[in-house]
Amino acid sequence: EVQLVESGGGAVQPGGSLRLSCEASGFTLSNSWMSWVRQAPGKGLEWVANMQPDGSEKYLESVKGRFTMSRDTAKSSVYLQMNSLRTDDTALYYCVRRAYTAFYTWGQGTMVTVSS
């Protein structure tokens, strides 16, 4: 069974940093397209970042230069390093495995709150 478990969320002040982790099981991470999607409280879904099997990344314009997606295939985990956090980054962050260019399997999410 494919499973994604996020961790690392929490409360941080504006300008601070957090590193989100996503532990994957039931599939081979190195062959997979992975993404992070976020949802601000009471709001809609927003795509944040992609990583392809070759390791190449793509980011939402508003997080470019602040967020970095990476992976450790030996630990079957993907990460989202978030620096220079802003209040509008407050959201539930989902780790997602993509397939057929769709967001196929979702984790349960980890909450990030940026507030002074």
Partner 1 sequence: QSALTQPPSASGSPGQSVTISCTGSSSDVGGYNYVSWYQQHPGKAPKLMIYEVSKRPSGVPDRFSGSKSGDTASLTVSGLQAEDEADYYCSSYADGNVYVFGTGTQVTVL
Among 5, 16, 23, 60, binds partner 1 (CB under 8 A): 60
Q: Would you say the C-alpha torsion 78, 49, 43, 99 has a positive or negative sign?
A: negative
- State which H helix or E strand residue 6 sits in: strand 3-7
Region of 10-18, 39-47, 70-78, 79-87 interacting with partner 1 (CB under 8 A): 39-47
From 10-18, 58-66, 68-76, 78-86, span contacting partner 1 (CB under 8 A): 58-66
Task: Kindly state whether residue 32 participates in binding partner 1, applying the rule CB under 8 A.
Answer: no
Tokens of 115: 């507030």
CB of 39 to partner 1, least distance (A): 8
Please say which residue, 17 or 70, places its beta carbon nearer to partner 1: 70
Q: Judged by CB under 8 A, does residue 101 bind partner 1?
A: yes
Which amino acid appears at position 1 of this protein? Answer: E
66-95 burial code (b ≥16 CB/10 A, e <16): ebbbebeeeebbbbbebeebeeebbbbbbb
Residue where the block lists tokens 């978030």? 82
Q: Which residues bind partner 1 (CB under 8 A)?
A: 35, 37, 44-47, 50, 58, 60-61, 94, 99-109
